[in-house]
Amino acid sequence: MAPSFMRRLRQETPSWVSDGVVTAQQAETILARYPESGRWFQRPIVIFSVLGGALVVLAAALLVAHNWHEIPRWAKLAGVLTLLLGAHAGGLVLRARGHGLMGEGLFVLGGGLFLVGIALLGQIYNLAGGESDAVLLWWALLLPAAYVLPSIALIALGWLGASVWFWMFVLDRMTWLGRDIYSNGSLGAVAFGAAGVLVWALGALHGDGEFRRARQLLEQLGLLTILVAMVPLGLLRQLGAWWSSGEATRWPVAVLVLIGLAAVAVGVASFRLPHDRPVVRAGPAAALLLVLLYLFAVTLQLIHRAAADVFRVLGWTNWAILLVVALALILYGARWDRSAWINWGVIWIGVDAVARYVELVGTMLQASALFAATGLFVIALGGALELLRRRVTARATAPRGSA
């Protein structure tokens, strides 16, 4: 059951009783129907299971890393495979017996042991280089197992692996994406921004069903990544030639493909957002398409080594887009009861304000005007959200037939 639903239920039932909608006894019966179990990750058994599983994985990894030359290769591999299959079998048994949360710990152990198995083969055969390929193999085979089960801990582990893989892939100049980024460091921020939008869209595709938690995880990971990428891009002009110059001006095909992929994903994801009027529903996707359009424009200007004035305009565009997306996150978060979106919207506005302070540190009058305008805007936004909340509450408590 969604924690927000239970929280809302506990907030609303006293007014139902006072308005005569239900009796006090009926309110108690309704509340008893949805016992407060706390958030799943606050349950001690989950924390201990996942932590225990992670520690056993680390123990197995270090045991393998000790490198027992006396043990035959096949015996080492067989040992890791036995542990891997045993962990998953144990997880299934525990889940079948109703100990689902303890089972999650064993699934995490099994998922980690698969990575240990891949590392073991690298050790046995002295395979150097291509570390990102090894991590790709890990998460690409881990996620299907995680989704068919389904196991939220294993899904989180798989996406963690995918995130680590993307970092490794970008930082390796021998990969098709890393090669583009080594030709111009600023493209790294563009790639991360596009990847952030892609991750958000992948999260939205999970919908509100049984993969709701995966959606929440990926949406937040995506929003964090976009923010981390957008802030330095807004300061390109301030960072100067070191940041914006590159050794080559060839087309960064891999980065452009990533931006295109993210655009398609956002388009598809918009159909998985909560039901609403089509125009309203298209809002979040339109805001994120603006981000992608901006990333595309930055890429073009980096290729053409545009003048400082162009980067100044792009800096102001960056500021405006951050504000628009933050506003969209807050308004849609309030409309669709997604508190994480509201939190991220507020964080975006705060980070944007600090970034603009850094940008305008030389002209205090401009900074003062900007902060005053932003501050008044945020206060007005808070007032608008409060009005919206009161209206929704009034509509919910109004007697039937009066509307």
Q: Which of residues 170-199 bind another protein (CB under 8 A)?
A: 173-176, 178-179, 182
Is 118 among the residues that bind another protein (CB under 8 A)? yes
Map residues 45-84 to x or -, x wherever contact with another protein holds by CB under 8 A.
Answer: ----------------x--xxxxxx---xx--x--xx--x
Cβ within 8 Å of residue 362, ≥6 positions away: none
Residue with tokens 């609403």: 276
Count of CB atoms within 10 A of residue 229's CB?
21
> How many CB atoms lie under 10 A from the CB of residue 340?
15
Q: Which range touches another protein (CB under 8 A), out of 12-20, 127-135, 201-209, 296-304?
A: 127-135
Our CB check for another protein shows the closer of 96 and 380 to be: 96
Does 160 engage in binding with another protein (CB under 8 A)?
no
Tell me which residue has tokens 């995490």: 108
Residue among 159 and 294 whose Cβ is closer to another protein: 159
Q: Which two tokens stand for residue 179?
A: 């090669």
Q: Which is nearer to another protein, 144 or 375 (CB)?
A: 144
The answer to whether 249 contacts another protein (rule: CB under 8 A) is no
| Residue type (1 letter), 152 | I
Judged by CB under 8 A, does residue 127 bind another protein?
yes
Rule CB under 8 A: say whether 240 interacts with another protein: no
Phi, psi torsion values for 361, nearest 5 degrees = -60, -25
Helix ranges (H only) for 149-240 are 152-171, 176-183, 186-205, 212-233, 236-239
Piece in contact with another protein (CB under 8 A), picked from 134-142, 319-327, 331-339, 368-376: 134-142
Burial class for 11, CB neighbours closer than 10 Å (0-12, 13-18, 19+): exposed
Q: Where are the alpha helices (DSSP H) in 67-130?
A: 73-96, 100-124
Rounded distance between C-alpha atoms, residue 318 and residue 353, angstroms: 12
Work out how close the CB of 303 gets to another protein at its nearest, in angstroms, rounded to a whole number. 17
**Interface contacts to another protein, rule CB under 8 A:** 61, 64-69, 73-74, 77, 80-81, 84-85, 88, 92, 110, 114-130, 137, 141-142, 144-145, 148-150, 173-176, 178-179, 182
